[in-house]
Amino acid sequence: MKDGFIKTVCAVPELKVADCKFNSEKIISMILKADEEKAALCVFPELSITGYTCGDLFFQKTLLDNALISLKNIAESTSETDLVSVIGLPVSSNGSIYSCAAVICSGKVLGIVPKKNIPNYREFYEARHFAPGIDSGKLNFFGELIPFGANMIFRCTEMKEFTFGIEICEDLWVADTPSVKLALNGANIIVNLSASNETIGKAEYRRTIVKAKSGSLCCVYLYANAGADESTTDMIYSGHSIIAENGSIFSESEKFENGMIFFDADLQKIAAERERMNTFSGRVDDMLDIPFSIEKRETKLCRNISHTPFVPMSDSEVNERCKEISLMQSMGLVKRLKHTHCKTAVIGLSGGLDSTLALIVTVNAFRRLELDMEGIKAVTMPCFGTTDRTYNNACKLARLYGAQLLEINIRESVTKHFEDISHDPDVHDVTYENSQARERTQILMDIANKYGGLVIGTGDLSELALGWATYNGDHMSMYAVNSSIPKTLVRYLVRYEAECCGGELRAALVDILDTPVSPELLPPEENGTISQKTEDIVGPYELHDFFLYYMVRFGFTPSKIFRLAVHAFNGSYDNETILKWEKTFYRRFFLQQFKRSCLPDGPKVGTVTLSPRSDLRMPSDACADMWMSELDNIKI
């Protein structure tokens, strides 16, 4: 439960139809196993104490009485466990029978939730046996009055984000699902005790609806489905269970196999997402809050945490995403070129990744507008740190894309500038570096004026986060096409372009991908190779992109982000290295906000961007002490 994580379980036990004693023993066994695995919430299928397919046996008092006795036995037998369990059973009350979910914790039944929507179509004739659930009431459970009704939200006293509501099978498939009201009133988890039979194609539909519901409600959705041991008189059940979080399926059982599926739900992530959406506030309905208490213990993370959160996991997804992003970038530029009636674009082409991507985007925009590629002025401006490798690649790219290459050596003008400001050129400090960057920007701006064009910005999202840009140098442009593309994604976008082309152009792009990231503002090594490698100075971009994603996207604490990074980069970086660069990230992120407060326009393509107009309204003088103090207190 530390950092908002809880381990959740969907459990499908071995079952004998109408054998409450056997079924309760199997349920107890699974609850005990879930507790051993440090689970906090364990959900079983609909009517799991009796079996879903009992038919008219539900009218038998013997079955109904034994179901309640078995529930009492399950609660007492698991009283020493430290988790919440949700179990299905039939309950008779006030002359009606209901399909219910019983919630137990620490040996007590906290409440019983009846199914609201009773199907009565095709193969499902539940209305013969069950009544639609009431919203609120009381049930006499062995002399104790306990809450009975559909309008209940269960809330953990030790962890405010751990809240859940219940719907049962058909409740998910109707237009007005109970989960909507539950989510609007604060349930971060929706559990569904289901008995959905198997037919051709139904599993895919089941995946779709659970995935969609978890996304529309911004919740964790636990769907525990009746297993293959149900009666096969007319229908087949598979135990197909699913756990989804905010629109993505993270755990899914094999069909026709009993057992348990686990998922480390991130409830802080759900809460942060809802806070940003601002559509889950201000709702006050007639809901009953049921408190429960369990020990706050650390969840050992087993979920897959990508070390590149900006990049999809599978190759097919990566290619599709790259295609989409490239189109979005180019369409943003298309609009700006059309609006300004410009037929010229000016790009500082260094032979590095960022300017290569900016050129690709500009070429795509010109193609869509059917403009002459000669209107792209690719300006290479070698100086003290330029290497033959990057210079040659810049020249090749311009030629191969059909752009007009302009070569302007700035060594002499920068040297004259050093004289003007009385700077010793042998002192390779920030003045030495930034003078070159600003000279390049001045040239680009003046060329744009000369040809009536726009300067296309090349800086990326990662550089903006770290402030790794010269103020009013490469920091400035007339349209910044890469401003919401993190460095880790830039690489994939350039690689995607390389895969889509061939020959000499492909070879040039591949060589650029293999070139170390560098601003090339310091003289090269004696052998002519790059001496100034950015990641040696500010740290690995894959770490900084990871920190950026979880800080800005979800507002996670530095300690939680550190924990996630340790898990995601296991085997790549040790804890000391991760902590070192996380401190660098926070320090630079706060100190360099003033650069982001005056950014040029650029297309937003993802959920994490730093535009001061639409995405990050952060004061330039905010203090980072609380964040840095938390990092200082992390014990390695």
> How much of the chain is in helix, strand and coil states, percent to nearest 5?
40, 20, 40
Q: What is the per-residue burial (b if ≥16 Cβ within 10 Å, else e) of 17-43?
A: bbbbebbbbbbbebbeebbebbbbbbb
Q: Is-catalytic flag, 500?
A: no
Give the H/E segment covering residue 194.
strand 189-194
DSSP-assigned beta bridge partners for residue 87? 102
In the block, residue with structure tokens 């979800």: 554
Q: Classify residue 56 by its DSSP letter.
A: G
**Paired tokens of 143:** 């002399």
**What is the residue-wise DSSP string for 349-396?**
--SSHHHHHHHHHHHHHHHHHT--GGGEEEEE---TT--HHHHHHHHH
Are the CB atoms for 225 and 45 separated by under 8 Å? yes
Paired tokens of 271 = 């809460």
For 273, the enclosing helix (H) or strand (E) is helix 267-277
What is the pairing mode between strands 124-125 and 120-121? antiparallel
Looking at the chain, how many residues does it have?
A: 636
Sign, Cα dihedral of 294, 297, 303, 307 = positive
Q: At what angle do helices 315-340 and 487-500 cross, to 10 degrees?
A: 90
How many whole angstroms separate alpha carbon 212 and alpha carbon 248? 8
Q: What is the dihedral of CA 574, 579, 581, 584, to 10 degrees?
A: -170
Q: Cα separation of 168 and 37, whole Å?
A: 26
CA distance 427 to 407: 26
Collapsing DSSP states into helix, strand and coil, what is residue 311?
Answer: coil
| 580 given a catalytic annotation | no
Q: Rounded CA gap, 629 and 634, in Å?
A: 9
Choosing from 26, 38, 46, 105, the catalytic residue is 46
Query: Catalytic one among 42, 169, 219, 322?
Result: 169
Active-site entry in 7, 26, 38, 115:
115
Full 3-state SS string of 386-432: CCHHHHHHHHHHHHHHCCEEEECCCHHHHHHHHHHCCCCCCCCCHHH
> Would residue 230 show up in a list of annotated catalytic residues for this protein?
no
**Active site (catalytic) residues:** 46, 115, 169
